[in-house]
Each structure stands twice: as C-alpha cells, then as structure tokens.
Structure 1
Amino acid sequence: MSIAGGRKVLAAGEFKTKGGEVVFLDNKSGHYRPYGPNAEKAAVDAFNKNGMKADGKYNAAWGCP
C-alpha cells in the first residue's frame, strides 16, 4: 500500500512532534530520497496546510542522490 495511491510523490521523510507541535522534519526516506528546495517546500507546505506549523523545522538529511 502507498499513501500516494499511485500519484506523483512530492516529498518524503521523517518527522517528530511533541505536544502536537512539529519539532523537526527531514527528507530521510528509505528509497525515494527527495532533495532540494522543491522537496522542502512540498513537505513544509503539507504540514502547514494541515495546521501544523513547520516553517523553519526542515533539516535536509541528504542532497542529490
């Protein structure tokens, strides 16, 4: 099963919350390995759109594969 449901993946990685607040998010996924400003924007925007303030919480775990 895939969360993307066959659609194009814009971001992937890990995140941590504490008390309902985003502590950090990154691009450290298993095989997808998104990178660059578009991946960061997609991840941060997804959290913000869902009411979880993620501005300034992104940490790039790796760059271009």
Structure 2
Amino acid sequence: MSAARRGAIALLLAVAVAFGIREAEAYGRQAIVRMAGDTLFLSLFTAGWKVVAAGCTPRPGRPYDCLIKGA
C-alpha cells in the first residue's frame, strides 16, 4: 500500500471518529453513512463523493425520510 493511500485512510478514520460515524456502506456509486444522530446518502460524481440527502431517519418497510434532498 502506498504512503498516499495510507495517509488517505488515516484521514478518513480521523474524520469518522470526529463526526461520530458509526457505519458506512458503499454500493457501486451510491453510499450510506450512519452517524450518531443522522444518516447521509452519498453519490459518486466525477469530482468525488457528494452528499445527496441528509437528515434522514429510517421508516421500517419504507424508504428513509430525509430533510434535505438534492443531486
């Protein structure tokens, strides 16, 4: 593993701890990030990962309810 890759992983872990990220899962070009008090949805664009929905709460058997949505 290159030094740059190790540095990027270390930075991501530091951000995860700082923001209380509990779980992150990626599915191709889509991802979900669960934090202590919020759930975010991200999409991979040419310029990198961007948040496309925030303030999301789960609804059993239904899609998440998100306060902020966009692409």
Classify the TM-score, shorter chain.
under 0.3
* Greater relative CO (CA pairs within 8 A, separation 6+): 1
The TM-score with structure 1 as length reference comes to 0.26
